[in-house]
Amino acid sequence: MTTDVLAAGTRTRPVTGGGKLLLFLLALVIVVIAEAIGNVSIPVGTGKIILLPLLWALLLGGAIGLLSPRLPPPLRLSGAMQNAASAYLQPALLIFIAKLGLLVGGSLPKILASGWALVFQEFGHFFGTMVFGLPVALLLGIKREAIGATFSVGREPSLAIIGERYGMDSPEGRGVLAEYLTGTVFGAVFIALLAGLITSLGIFNPLALAMGAGVGSGSMMAAASGAIAAQQTPEVAKEVATFAAASNLVTTTIGTYFTLFLSLPFTIWAYGKLEPILGRHRPDAAGPAPAALDAPVHEEARIGLPETVLAWIMIGAYGLIGNWLTYGVAPDRTVVAGMAIIVGAVLAGYALYLACGRKLPAVLWVSLIGMALTYPATPYAAEIAAMTGKINFLALATPILTFAGLSVAKDVPAFRRLGWRIVVVSFMANAGTFLGAALIAQFFLHAPLG
C-alpha cells in the first residue's frame, strides 16, 4: 500500500533521525494499546463482527495522523513522517509474509490436496470486482470511471496499467484512483468487518474464506484472514493463515498479467454491454472532471538497506510484544529464536531479490524461503516449525496495520473529495473479490453448506 506509483512527479523530503525515532515510538505505543484492548465481539443479527487488535492499530494510527495539527509540536506526525510510515510498510509486510511462508511449507501436501479449489478461486478474485461492482456503479450513474474502479482491487499494478493505457487524468484513471484511495483509507477495516461477519454466519468452509482473503494486498489479506481465524480453533486458525497466504501469493504473482490481459478487457466489454441497459438514462454522477481526483504529487520517502534491516528487527520485536500481551506467549529463548528465523528468512529472501536484479517481487522470494525451511523434506523442518509456530501470525499483522494507519492521513483530503457513489462502488469491488473467490473455492472444496 505504498503511494509511490501515484505520483505524477515525486519529490524526496528527508525525515530526520528524530522523526523516525518518534515514528517507531508511536508505533510501539499503538501496538501495546491495540494488543491490550484485544478482541472485541459485536453481535449483528445472527452473526457477529470481531474487532481485532490489528483494526485498533489501524484506527489509532489514522487518528494520530488526522489529529497531528492539534498535537504538541514534538508529537506531530508531519507529511514526511507519514510518507516514511508508508515506506516502512514493505518491511513490515515481508516479516508477515515470511511467517506465512513458514506456515505454508509444512502444509504444502494439504494445499496440493485442495486440488482445483486454489486454482479456480483466483477467477473469483479477478472477476468478482467487476461482477459485484460494475452494475452498482452504472445504477448510481457512474460512467467510464466504473471501468477503473471495478476491474481490480486497485492496488499499485492496477494504477500503472490504467495510467499507461488511459492516463490518470482520464475517467478510467480517476476511477482507479478512487478505488486505490478507498482501499488505502478503509480497505483493511472494510474487508475485516465483512470477513468476520460472513465467517460468523457459518455458511462457508473457513478454508474457502481463507482463499477469498488472498486479495493481493498484504494488509487487506492480514485483516481478512485475521478476522476469519479469530473465530476458529487454534489448529483451524493455522490452516486459515496457510491457505490465505497461498492464495495471496498466487494473486500477487500472476495478478498483473491477469488483470492486464483478462480482467480489464472483460470489464471494458461488460461496460459496453451493461451501460446501455443500466446507465443510459442516468445522468453522469461524476460530472466534469474534478481536479480533486487528479493524481496528487506525493512525497517519496526513501529508506536505505541498513534502515530496512533495523525496521525488520523492530517490527519483529513489536510482534513479540503482541504475542505476549494477546496470546500469552512470553518471549523466552525459543520464541526469540523463532523470531530470529523469521527475520533471517526475510534477509535471505531479500538478498535473492537483489541478486536477481529485482526482476521478481521480494514477496515471492521471502515466501519461497519460508516454505523451504518448513517443507517436510527439509532437515530440521519440524524443529523450525515448532519454534516459529510459537509466534501467532496475528501478532505480526498488528505492526503492519499500525504503519498503514500512520500513513493514511496524507490521503484523506483527496478521499474526502471523491463523492459517496464511487466509495460505495469501491466497497462493492472489494466485497466482490473476497466473496467471488470464496464462492468458487467453496464449490470445489465440496463443503456442505449450513
> Cα separations (Å) of 237 from 49, 208, 209, 341?
17, 13, 12, 21
Which residues neighbour 25 within 8 Å (Cβ) at sequence distance 6 or greater?
Answer: none
Q: What pLDDT score does 240 carry?
A: 93
Q: Is residue 152 part of a domain?
A: yes
Residue 8 lies in a domain: yes
Grid coordinates belonging to 108: 504444502
Q: What is the pLDDT of residue 281?
A: 61
Res. 45: pLDDT tops 50: yes
For residue 450, being part of any structural domain is answered with: no
Count other Cβ atoms within 10 Å, centred on residue 357.
7
Pick from 258, 244, 240: nearest CA to 157: 258
Q: Is residue 70 part of a domain?
A: yes
For the segment 374-417, what is each residue's pLDDT rounded down to a tens digit?
Answer: 999 999 999 999 999 999 988 998 998 898 888 877 777 766 66
The 10s digit of each residue's pLDDT in 354-380 is 999 988 778 888 988 998 999 999 999
Q: Whose grid coordinates read 480497505?
A: 187
Q: What does DSSP assign to residue 11?
A: B
310/170: higher pLDDT: 310
Segments forming the whole domain that contains residue 133: 4-445
What confidence category does residue 55 fall into, taking pLDDT thresholds of 50, 70 and 90? Answer: confident
- With cell 476491474, the residue in question is 151
With contact defined as beta carbons under 8 Å apart, do 147 and 172 qualify?
yes
Q: How far apart are CA 366 and CA 295, in angstroms?
A: 32
- Tens of pLDDT, residues 85-122: 888 877 888 898 899 889 888 877 777 776 678 878 88
Q: Note whether residue 53 is domain-resident.
A: yes
- Upper half-sphere CA count for residue 70 (Cβ side, 13 Å): 5
Beta bridge partners of 50: 41
Average pLDDT over residues 252-279: 85
Above 80 in pLDDT, residue 224? yes
Q: What is the DSSP string of 184-218?
A: IIIIHHHHHHHHHHHHHHT-S-HHHHHHHH--S-H
What pTM does this model have? 0.71
Determine which of 59-73, 304-318, 436-450 has the lowest per-residue pLDDT on average: 436-450
Q: Is 69 exposed, middle or buried (0-12, 13-18, 19+ CB in 10 A)?
A: exposed
- Is residue 108 a part of any domain in this protein? yes
Asked if 22 and 313 count as a contact pair (C-beta separation under 8 A), the reply is no
Domain contains 149: yes
Per the structure, the count of domains in the chain is 1
